Amino acid sequence: MNFSIDLDKQLCFQISRTHQLYNKLYQKPLKQFNLTYVQYITLLALWKEDGVTVNTLSRELDLTNGTLTPLLKRLEKAGWITRERDKKDERRLIVSLTERGKQLQGEITNCTEMCLNEMGYTPEGFNQALANVQDIQNRLKMAIERQAD
């Protein structure tokens, strides 16, 4: 494969730029809930499965515990979640949605769905874009595994 030093032809740069633009697109609708994009995806994970350990959430979001802990503290302080020690194993910290976190799910997801609608995808186009991104992720994981060998 030919390697180009043209920045616009660098896949890594285009993905980074896309990430920045997604954050910007979601910024306005999330602002009304005083949420950041990373806080939003944390809530998404909890809406999918509530009452999970910090380690489970860390794996789901692909965030280190060092990154996740202050984020969870801010969400707890804002009334979105609770963090409680597992009664069966005190070493484990269980993260759960509060009533507020559960009740606002529909309103928040409606706002973020409008962001996706503004991108103008057809359902087929959206599914193809998602499949392409997942393919890139899988290829990156395999490349990282090969480097580790």
Structural domain boundaries in the chain? 16-118, 122-149
What integer pLDDT is reported at residue 140 of this predicted model?
A: 95
What integer pLDDT is reported at residue 2 of this predicted model?
A: 67
Cβ-contact 84, 96 below 8 angstroms: yes
- List the Cα angle 81/87/92 in 5-degree steps: 65
pLDDT tens digits, residue range 56-107?
Answer: 999 999 999 999 999 999 999 999 999 999 888 888 899 999 999 999 999 9
pLDDT band at residue 118 under the 50/70/90 scheme: very high
Give the span between the Cα atoms of 50 and 62, in whole angstroms.
17
Task: Supply the DSSP symbol for 89.
Answer: -
Burial 18-38 (b: 16+ CB within 10 A, else e): eeeeeeebbeebbeebebbbb
What integer pLDDT is reported at residue 91 of this predicted model?
A: 87
- The two three-digit tokens of residue 17, written as one number: 């730029």
pLDDT higher than 90, residue 120: yes
What integer pLDDT is reported at residue 30 of this predicted model?
A: 96
Summary mean pLDDT of the chain:
93
What integer pLDDT is reported at residue 89 of this predicted model?
A: 85
Give the span between the Cα atoms of 17 and 13, in whole angstroms.
6
pLDDT band at residue 149 under the 50/70/90 scheme: confident
Average pLDDT over residues 116-132: 94
**Which residues, listed in sequence order, are joined to residue 95 by a DSSP beta bridge?**
52, 83
What integer pLDDT is reported at residue 1 of this predicted model?
A: 64
- For tokens 């395999």, the residue is 142
CATH assignment of 16-118, among 3.30.2000.10, 3.50.50.60, 1.10.3720.10, 1.10.10.10: 1.10.10.10
What integer pLDDT is reported at residue 75 of this predicted model?
A: 98
What integer pLDDT is reported at residue 88 of this predicted model?
A: 86
Give the span between the Cα atoms of 80 and 72, in whole angstroms.
9
